[in-house]
Chains A and B, each alone.
Chain A
Amino acid sequence: DTAVSQTPKYLVTQMGNDKSIKCEQNLGHDTMYWYKQDSKKFLKIMFSYNNKELIINETVPNRFSPKSPDKAHLNLHINSLELGDSAVYFCASSQDLQGSNEQFFGPGTRLTVL
């Protein structure tokens, strides 16, 4: 049973298009995150959600709009894709907002913008 799943695994698209990435966790966790990993493997937090509510938006362009229909899902919609959006996007979840909690990561979605 996959704890944190993401779809699609690969996404190739043209500049200017709109795309979505879906994330689901079956761990019963309250808190979910989106991270971006660039070509040099550097990981940076984008958003954090707790009980479907946005907690943190780390200076991400408003072309990125996360949506959490319920606690188990956190989807990421990206408008007007740009070349610089090419990266691997990871969804993660943790039990709650305690900083000492382990975060469980999905397998990642590799986005390539042409």
Chain B
Amino acid sequence: GDSVTQMEGPVTLSEEAFLTINCTYTATGYPSLFWYVQYPGEGLQLLLKATKADDKGSNKGFEATYRKETTSFHLEKGSVQVSDSAVYFCALSDSGGGADGLTFGKGTHLIIQP
């Protein structure tokens, strides 16, 4: 079945550091790929997405590129802020549609220190 593997945290960085959170996936066909963010005590919010190979999703300074050849969707940000502290989830939706819901990675807890 489909699966998503992402680096597990916690990941601790200083403010203004460069961020990379690795994500790789296993799926048949051409899944859609997502990054969701969960702030403490809240539900998940979509951060960015990409629906086909070589697409780049971007939002709030975060970027990720859909790499079919390496089955990866790594999340990057050039300069992190304390407000970016949260749990980040990489997820995919099967190419067959949304009926199966999202398959999530285990989440990466990001802590940004001032």
- A→B interface (CB under 8 Å): 4, 31, 33, 35, 40-45, 48, 50, 55-56, 58, 90, 92, 94, 96-108
Instruction: Sample 20 A-B pairs with CB under 8 A, ordered by A number.
Output: A42-B106, A43-B107, A48-B101, A50-B99, A56-B101, A90-B43, A96-B98, A97-B98, A99-B31, A99-B96, A100-B51, A102-B46, A102-B49, A103-B98, A103-B101, A103-B102, A104-B46, A105-B36, A105-B43, A107-B42
Decide yes or no whether B73 CB sits under 8 A from chain A.
Answer: no
Indicate the size class of the contact surface on chain B: 20 to 34
Q: In the complex, are the beta carbons of B98 and A90 less than 8 A apart? A: no
Decide yes or no whether B61 CB sits under 8 A from chain A.
Answer: no
Q: How far is the CB of B39 from chain A (nearest CB, A)?
A: 11
Decide yes or no whether B63 CB sits under 8 A from chain A.
Answer: no
Q: Which residues from chain B contact A96 at a C-beta distance below 8 Å?
A: 98
